[in-house]
A and B are shown apart, each in its own frame.
Chain A
């Protein structure tokens, strides 16, 4: 188990390092950043001042090594636009994104697991097909359009929830629902297939033979075995949700990390852009590592891989 853990941790670190490189190269794509920051009206002298001020006159390799060593100590540089430390900016925006992600995940789990169980118990019937069709439909819905549609229906017509902003908890409901849509199909499929396997297994037959009630069989025996991979995949889904929340944050004007990244792209604020990419990637790496460890703890066969 220890060797497994060490290998996974090493892999996670290598991945993070690669992402560091990618996010650094990404912002150098335009060629000359100084010109891009200075804008079209700037004179040659202005460009040179900016080049010096942001350290862009140094060799690329030096810039890269500095960025990596600083990032490793938690210093992500200063934002051009906000004139503030990027670390501070991200941590100020984090609560919104985190609340949104967790709201989305909770809604997704509370919808997907019961529906998956029902589909598995009625495997092959019209009800099963109907539920699985919902999953396909959910996948086809463009999230930003769904967001706008919900705003029109529940924000404007029914006035149940605010149209934008998160001054109260109600502000998280609509964006949370939209975000949940992205995770529901995967969670539902996994719950269903896990439950189908579990319900067909010998220990369920034994439980039936003992005369246990249907509810006890499904909830106590089958679900316990089917739920574990679902919990692990939930961690991965949370990672996808946090990095995908950028679209939803923009639709609902929630000033989270994704929104920060989107603003920074528009303003050529490259320390913020590369830091947000790095931050979201690191969160994803940590969450998948967690999912791996959870799976390995539950299933010893995986540890030898």
Chain B
């Protein structure tokens, strides 16, 4: 706390990274120099232009099928951001609903919610996600839905504990006294007062979803080729990594920087919104 400037700097940097990746993903068709799917077998595995043997047309070189690596990277940003945001929306809806209900009503409802959270935590995350994608077939929608259905636990835990704190506060009692409906109290009194905690959870879950999608795609059971997911790019480049390490460094470092940026942004939000407790 004694060094606010460092924290502020990290938060600003994180937000900038996320913003850049988001914009790059959105504008991918307009800012990429080449089509990310067009192969060119005469120009395979060309190193980035700043390395020996590189050429200026392909800033980050080309992959094993001669596709422009920079264009694939930008389209990959699109997939990562899409997975991150869509997963957070799905898992957020499930987790927040469960957590708020459990925290607000307590008793049997809360027991059921706690049981659901315990079960979810016991299920091996990656294996089950792999199994679902493997059995249902891999597509972007399946990955989003699978991750969304699995990553709601932290939302539920935080929504539950924060709801417990606000449900006994005066303004909730006042709303009861004024004759407000249960739905009104939950949506208008409780939710707005716990939302800042949930925003921080959302950043953590978004980072986790992006890492998991990359891991699933790396294991061949995530986003199907030829889509340029960063995890898939690493998997496809694996055979060549001993001779040209840059092929795994380009998507790997991108993934690392994006996740780091999201985490820094989350830390910044935590400071800004005054949620001091560790969530």
Contacts and interface: CB of A to CB of B under 8 A. Distances in A.
A187 to B, nearest CB: 14
Contacts of B218: 144, 247
Nearest to A144: B218
A196 to B, nearest CB: 12
Interface string A10-24: 010011101100100
A125 B6 CA distance: 11
Q: Which of B122, B130, B132, B221 has the most CB of A within 10 A?
A: B122
Given A139-B263, A142-B215, A148-B248, A27 B131 contact: yes
A29 B136 contact: yes
Contacts of A247: 126, 215, 218-219
A5 interface: no
Interface stretch (A84-92, A101-109, A275-283): A275-283
B127 interface: yes
Nearest to A33: B135
Contacts of B128: 22, 26, 277
A244 interface: yes
A277 B231 CA distance: 24
A58 B234 CA distance: 43
Contacts of A29: 132, 135-136
A121 to B, nearest CB: 15
A15 B219 contact: no
B126 A246 contact: yes
B278 A193 contact: yes
Contacts of A124: 1-3
Nearest to A18: B119
Contact of B134 (A14, A142, A266, A276): A266
Interface in A252-305: 258, 261-262, 265-266, 268, 273, 276-277, 280-281, 284-285, 288
Interface residues of B, number: 48
B238 interface: yes
B192 interface: no
A239 to B, nearest CB: 8
Contact of B123 (A141, A142, A281): A281
Interface stretch (B63-71, B87-95, B100-108, B251-259): B251-259
A243 B128 CA distance: 10
B211 A277 contact: no
Contacts of A244: 124-126
B214 interface: yes
Main secondary structure of the interface of A (DSSP, over half): helix
A53 interface: no
Interface in A7-53: 11, 14-16, 18-19, 22, 26-27, 29-30, 36
A19 B2 CA distance: 46
Main secondary structure of the interface of B (DSSP, over half): helix
Interface in A92-124: 124
A3 interface: no
A142 B264 contact: no
A218 to B, nearest CB: 21
Contacts of B6: 126, 129
Contacts, number: 138
A177 to B, nearest CB: 16
Contacts of B31: none
B260 A136 contact: yes
B16 interface: no
A189 B279 CA distance: 12
Interface string B109-139: 0000001001101111111101110111000
A285 B249 CA distance: 37
B256 to A, nearest CB: 6
B211 A142 contact: yes
A262 B121 contact: no
Contacts of A129: 3, 6
A156 interface: yes
A234 interface: no
Q: Which of B1, B126, B241, B263 has the most CB of A within 10 A?
A: B126
Contacts of A156: 242
Interface of A: 11, 14-16, 18-19, 22, 26-27, 29-30, 36, 124-126, 129, 133, 136-137, 139-145, 148-149, 152, 156, 189, 193, 243-244, 246-247, 250, 258, 261-262, 265-266, 268, 273, 276-277, 280-281, 284-285, 288
Which 3 residue pairs are nearest across A and B when measured between Cβ atoms?
A: A243-B124, A145-B252, A140-B260
23 contacts: A11-B115, A26-B132, A27-B131, A29-B135, A30-B135, A30-B136, A124-B1, A126-B3, A126-B6, A136-B264, A136-B267, A144-B214, A144-B215, A145-B214, A145-B256, A148-B238, A156-B242, A243-B126, A246-B126, A247-B126, A247-B219, A265-B131, A273-B131
